[in-house]
Amino acid sequence: MKKAFSLLALFQLFFICLLAQNGSLPPVDKSPMDMSYFPANYPVLKIQDKISESPVARVVYSRPQKAGRVIFGNIVKYGEVWRMGANEATEIEFFKNVHIGGKKINKGRYTLYAIPSETSWVIILNKDTDTWGAFKYNAKKDVIRTSVAVQKTDAVIESLVMAFDKTATGCTLVIGWDNVKVLLPISL
């Protein structure tokens, strides 16, 4: 029996190696996908039985690198719709109704786009999800557009980052990359 089990394990290892050599498994992405929750670290707190509040939102995005490039106004064009990351368009999910820019946003999943300029970004929530890039962006599916000011950062942010900060009225989605950041206020 041990011999049969060992032979089976060896065969499985051989098969996995063969698949890897044939390119069936994708290479590591240059812009890895990441996720941020509000409240922060919600899944970890959940498994540790340390939840003090239910989840409000999460954002799923790919993290492109600056890699010595000029990002805003060059890689990310001013005045054009941007997927707010790399690869698949960034998605935000609300687990309860929220308010953004004074408008009620129903709980659900949305694609998050931006139209950057030097001084402000127009942040867009769009109903069309599960899309790659902004190539099929359709303004008719916008739920909201709101403008937020650009802030310069003291240090360069190498990888695009998104995180939620708690506020007195809800949270703020902080988006930073290169030498800028923007804040999207979200009220409960």
Number of residues that make up the chain: 188
pLDDT in tens, 99-156: 999 999 999 999 999 999 999 999 999 999 999 999 999 999 999 999 999 999 999 9
Q: pLDDT value at position 21?
A: 53
* Helices within 22-140 (DSSP H only): 42-47
Entry pTM: 0.84
- Please tell me the distance from the alpha carbon of residue 172 to that of residue 37, in angstroms, as a whole number: 11
Annotate 86-108 with DSSP letters as a single string.
SSBPPEEEESS-EEETTEEE-SE
Q: pLDDT value at position 1?
A: 47
Name the amino acid, one letter, at 40. A
Q: pLDDT value at position 156?
A: 97
Percent pLDDT > 70 in the chain is 88
Confidence of residue 46 (pLDDT cuts 50, 70, 90): confident
Helix (H, G, I), strand (E, B) or coil at 47: helix
Give mean pLDDT, residues 82-100. 97
Q: 5-14, 16-25, 96-105, 112-121: lowest mean pLDDT where? A: 5-14
> For the chain, what are the domain ranges?
29-187
Percent pLDDT > 90 in the chain is 78
